[in-house]
Amino acid sequence: MNKEIRKNNDLAFNLAVDMLDQYAQKCERDSKRDMMNPILGTYNLVNQLAIGLLFKADGHIDDVIDIMNIAIQDAKEVIIKTKGEE
């Protein structure tokens, strides 16, 4: 991975971790679990990120949606491999 791609990937990772941490700390907690609701949290965070990315897509909305779907599938593969669920 070249230097620019690695730097941007690392930045995206760090921002995502910060976003998840802030959301988990500040959201209304699921009273049964005393933690964030993972389903609602996932929807809220992904939806708001998608809105921001699509807003900036300027004529490339379908391409950005395709990339988001590919990114989700890539993420699923990483988690499956990490957890050894192959």
In this prediction the pTM is: 0.81
The mean pLDDT value for 12-17 works out to 96
Q: What pLDDT sits at residue 83?
A: 93
What is the domain extent for residue 75?
3-83
Residue with tokens 């990339």, as numbered in its chain: 67
pLDDT, tens only, 15-61: 999 999 999 899 999 888 888 898 999 999 999 999 999 999 999 99
The 3-class secondary structure across the chain, one letter per residue, is CCHHHHHHHHHHHHHHHHHHHHHHHHCCCECCCCECCHHHHHHHHHHHHHHHHHHCCCCCHHHHHHHHHHHHHHHHHHHHHHHCCC
Query: How many domains does the structure of the chain reveal?
Result: 1
**Residue 35, strand partner residues:** 30
Q: What pLDDT sits at residue 34?
A: 84
Q: What pLDDT sits at residue 57?
A: 96
